[in-house]
């Protein structure tokens, strides 16, 4: 039957425990950095799609559709393997000589993750903006507020409440998507669990360890965002959790 | 009608949405302290007309003169446009209270940010207004926790908080339950009695009959008839107005 001796200590024993811990830190770092950039880019892209100029709208729409509809793994490969080939020879030389391969893969992963996620956030932000009744603008403008004030006091605070729940989903998703960075050799959680497997042949324990780690991260992020939602709770706008 | 008693003067106003000619050569004068009811079938341009008057809609042709000041001149100067709008109070069919602000903050936002009143001052006059519209006890609630009639009265208080020269009502009772309509109409009738200049788009012919000084009947972007209220209801001149009044009165 099953001829397998469990050795759960591969999860914490020296040096494996240290590897996993380093992996967790990189997962968190990578995700939060990419998250910050994605949020920034996403909101800007959504705002551009809200502008009246047709060509600006078209460019922003093309951005969203491109990054949203190509698998993240393909995008990672593109930025890591293909995009540098498009650079002039001298720039490529400089890149490979002056930047450590691990640093390069780390930043490539951040760029890919943030571009991919920003397109999704842009869609949520756009539907957030468009869910605001037109009458809110009319009401605010009718009292003599200027455009900046209308956005600052009425439209944006309103939009944020509509926007937070899908944002939570994306925040949890980016931690899970960050596992794909291992394909570029980024030493994040999944990479480390595979490394423990190849050193100890205890892949079962290492992988289950990684699974539990992702589960805990996801649950804590949801919990944290739940707290933010409660903080921003307003009758009739955000559902109480 | 002496000239200096005119507060709103609309001259040859035309407006289009794309190719759709929504307002056709509108001419209208309104005296200070009068209550004008604008009625007519939906899609006749009533709401658009209101929004042209306070500069929410940038109309294409003609002009609106408010207190001797040209609205179209303000289109090139945003500061002037904001100032013009602040002289109006506007009340909407769907209330349009800011859902993320308490009732009190809904009312004080513009007085604080536009008139630069202190928080204390603004809140004091907001409370007085809430008392006037009869919902003082709702000051610290959020709009979603109020009934429709209460929300609309908050909206009226919000419009009054800017101390406007003119109040514009865009179907203020169309989204309300019948028993709440009365409360709102009562507040509006009181305001008219106090001498507030009011333009009211409404289908409430009872209100028009009892409160309005003048009735404007619109259809397909034209003013078909403009009379004092008594004449309009007793002997309307145009066939369309006769039909409209009949249909609405039968409905009541």
Q: What does each of the 241 residues of chain A score in pLDDT, given as a tens digit?
A: 578 888 898 888 889 999 999 999 999 999 999 999 999 999 889 888 877 789 999 999 999 999 999 999 999 999 999 998 898 999 989 988 888 888 999 999 999 999 999 999 999 999 988 889 999 999 999 999 998 999 899 998 898 888 888 988 999 999 999 999 999 999 999 999 999 999 999 889 999 999 999 999 999 999 998 888 888 888 777 655 4
Inter-chain Cβ pairs, chain A and chain B, closer than 8 A: 82
- Judged by CB atoms closer than 8 Å, whether chains meet at B85 and A142 is answered as yes
Show the domain range for B155.
3-251
Q: Residue A65: what pLDDT?
A: 96
B105-119 pLDDT, tens digit each: 999 999 999 999 999
DSSP string, chain B: --GGGEEEEEEEEEEEETTEEEEEEEEEEEETT-EEEEE-STTSSHHHHHHHHTTSS--SEEEEEETTEEHHHHTT-HHHHHHHHHTEEEE-TT----TTS-HHHHHHHHHHHTS---HHHHHHHHHHHHHHTT-GGGTTS-GGGS-HHHHHHHHHHHHHTT--SEEEEESTTTTS-HHHHHHHHHHHHHHHHTT-EEEEE---HHHHHHH-SEEEEEETTEEEEEEEHHHHHHS-SSHHHHHHHHHHHHH-
Q: List, in order of start, the domains of chain A with CATH numbers.
A: 23-231 (1.10.3720.10)
- A220 contacts chain B (CB < 8 A): no
Report how many domains make up chain B.
1
- A132 contacts chain B (CB < 8 A): no
Q: Which residues of chain B have pLDDT under 70?
A: 1-4, 249-252
- Judged by CB atoms closer than 8 Å, whether chains meet at B114 and A143 is answered as yes
Q: Residue B50: what pLDDT?
A: 96
**ipTM of predicted assembly, 2 dp:** 0.93
The CATH number linked to B203 is 3.40.50.300
């Amino acid at each position: 039957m099953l001829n397998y001796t469990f050795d759960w200590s591969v999860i914490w024993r020296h040096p494996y425990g240290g590897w996993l811990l380093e992996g967790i830190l990189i997962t968190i770092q990578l995700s939060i950095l990419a998250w910050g950039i994605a949020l920034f880019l996403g909101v800007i892209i959504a705002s551009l799609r809200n502008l009246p100029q047709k060509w600006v709208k078209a460019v922003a729409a093309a951005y969203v559709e491109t990054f949203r509809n190509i698998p993240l793994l393909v995008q990672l490969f593109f930025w890591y393997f293909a995009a540098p080939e498009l650079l002039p020879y001298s720039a490529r030389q400089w890149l490979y000589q002056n930047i450590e391969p691990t640093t390069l893969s780390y930043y490539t992963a951040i760029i890919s993750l943030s571009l991919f996620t920003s397109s999704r956030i842009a869609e949520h932000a756009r539907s957030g903006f468009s869910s605001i009744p037109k009458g809110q603008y009319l009401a605010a403008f009718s009292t003599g507020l200027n455009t900046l004030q209308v956005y600052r006091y009425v439209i944006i605070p309103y939009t944020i409440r509509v926007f937070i729940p899908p944002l939570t989903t994306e925040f949890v998703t980016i931690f899970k998507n960050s596992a794909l960075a291992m394909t570029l050799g980024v030493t994040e959680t999944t990479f480390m669990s595979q490394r423990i497997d190849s050193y100890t042949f205890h892949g079962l324990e290492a992988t289950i360890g990684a699974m539990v780690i992702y589960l805990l991260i996801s649950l804590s992020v949801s919990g944290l965002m739940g707290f933010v939602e409660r903080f921003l709770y307003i009758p009739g706008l955000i559902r109480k959790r | 009608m002496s000239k200096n008693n005119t507060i709103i003067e609309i001259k040859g106003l035309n407006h289009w949405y794309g190719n759709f000619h929504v307002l056709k050569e509108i001419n209208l004068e309104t005296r200070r302290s009068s209550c004008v009811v604008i009625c007519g079938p939906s899609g006749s341009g009533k709401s658009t007309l209101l929004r042209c008057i306070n500069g929410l809609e940038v109309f294409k042709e003609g002009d609106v003169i408010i207190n001797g000041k040209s609205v179209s001149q303000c289109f090139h100067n945003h500061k002037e446009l904001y100032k013009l709008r602040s002289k109006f109070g506007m009340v909407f069919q769907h209330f349009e209270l800011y859902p993320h602000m308490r009732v009190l903050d809904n009312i004080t936002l513009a007085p604080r940010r536009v008139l630069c009143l202190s928080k204390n001052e603004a809140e004091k006059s907001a409370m007085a207004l809430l008392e006037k519209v009869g919902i003082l006890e709702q000051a610290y609630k959020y709009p979603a926790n109020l009934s429709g009639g209460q929300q609309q009265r908050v909206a009226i208080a919000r419009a009054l908080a800017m101390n406007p020269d003119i109040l514009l009502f865009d179907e203020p009772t169309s989204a309300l339950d019948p028993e709440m309509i009365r409360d709102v109409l009562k507040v509006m009738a009181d305001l008219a009695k106090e001498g507030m200049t009011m333009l009211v788009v409404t289908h409430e012919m009872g209100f028009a009959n009892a409160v309005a000084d003048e009735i404007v009947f619109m259809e397909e972007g034209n003013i078909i008839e403009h009379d004092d209220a008594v004449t309009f209801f007793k002997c309307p001149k145009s066939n369309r107005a006769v039909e409209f009044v009949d249909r609405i009165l039968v409905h009541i």
